Amino acid sequence: MSPVSPGEIATPILHADLDAFYASVLIRDRPELREVPVIVGGGHRGVVLAANYVARAYGVRSAMTGTRARRLCPQAVVLQPDYDLFSTVSTGVMECFRRVTPLVEAISLDEAFLDVRGASRRLGGPVEVAERLRAMIHDEQRITCSVGVAASISVAKLASKRAKPDGVVVVPPGQITSFLHPLDVGELYGVGEKTRALLHRLGLVTVGDVAHTPLRTLQRAVGEHLGAHLHQLAWGSDRRELTPRSTGVFGHGARSGEGDPDKSMGAQETFGRDTDDRAVIARELLRLTAKVTHRMRVAGVAGRTVTLTVRFADFTTITRSRTLPEATEGTQEVYRTALALYDALGLQRARVRLVGVRAEGLVPRERVERQLQLGEREHGWSDADRAVDRATLRFGSAAVRPASLLG
């Protein structure tokens, strides 16, 4: 890992945006469609949900009527959306982000902001982190991702747009104005069509025009709050902090600490090489389980359903679930369930590419009424888990681990 330069430390915000997400997910198992125009949605009277880059070259865009899209590109293949699949893939991607940093603000199924300043010691600078994330997503989900790297949320968002498709763009602090000022004001993050039209009517066409308009003049023209906000955006000086949150099913979710917790937590890992060794797979399931249950205990939640994901060498993916008698956040209980689900598959020589463990149906820990069973020791695995958590928080994740994971 190369040393992190001061310039990289100054650009800790990443905006990761999945490329043509809905289309990419639907065609990843259909190689015959990769080089042809594909439209998602846009039925007889519907509107286009998404289009791949081949279709976009013909002028097809999301929110366009299906009739117009087919007129622009009559040879396009039209696919119907699969919202359950989109949500599943999005969940896997967001888990990749959270392996790198807990500071993830998901703003839709296919994009999120990340603050990676705390990951530099483990993973290198923001650019290295961006490339690592892109590789993980490509390997595990077989779709591509573009990433913008900057000092602020608004500039990182614009940088990721310039990175598309399948690239990384970094905007160092010293290049913010040269990057921003030539752009149309409509490209500023959060500026909609009405605000863009208003600014254009005022003769403010580029971001540079806004930046060089005196603040009080701008505020008199568009309002005090909006004027101040636009001024900050135009100079790249906005410093809104990330608000870690997850998307729920198809884009609806709650901020951390508000309402119910996320409905599930999980982790998955791709092996360095495909394997059919049960011992290797069992160790990975234990490692993933320990990661998931630690996060659950930190969040103060427990889960009742354990889900196992297995992806084979041919990319066939299956999931199996088991619901427990009562919710738990215990590492051993979740691990035993996940391993039993794997053994129940009856695999002999099938080579495995990826495994994942997920706890679902999460509820706040205080809602779980757990009674001591007859003959059960007063102190057991739950005390051990909490001791591990305390050591991890103080000394790092490698301080304490199961003996089978040593080496």
List residues with catalytic annotation: 111
- Helices 278-299 and 381-395 cross at an angle (nearest 10°) of 80
Q: Which residues contact 166 (CB under 8 A, 6 or more apart)?
A: 19, 134, 144, 145, 146
Strands 301-312 and 145-150: unpaired
The H-or-E segment that residue 312 falls in is strand 301-312
β-partners of residue 104 are 114
CB 171 within 8 A of CB 150: yes
19 is in an annotated binding site: no
The tokens describing 71, both together, are: 């007129």
CB half-sphere exposure, 129, CA atoms < 13 A: 34
17 is in an annotated binding site: yes
Query: How far, CA to CA in Å, does 375 sit from each of 117, 203, 332, 334, 371?
Result: 48, 80, 18, 21, 12
Strands 77-79 and 38-41: parallel
In whole angstroms, what is the distance from residue 39 CA to residue 138 CA? 22
β-partners of residue 301 are 364
In whole angstroms, what is the distance from residue 146 CA to residue 104 CA? 16
Q: Which residues are annotated as a binding site for Mg(2+)?
A: 17, 110
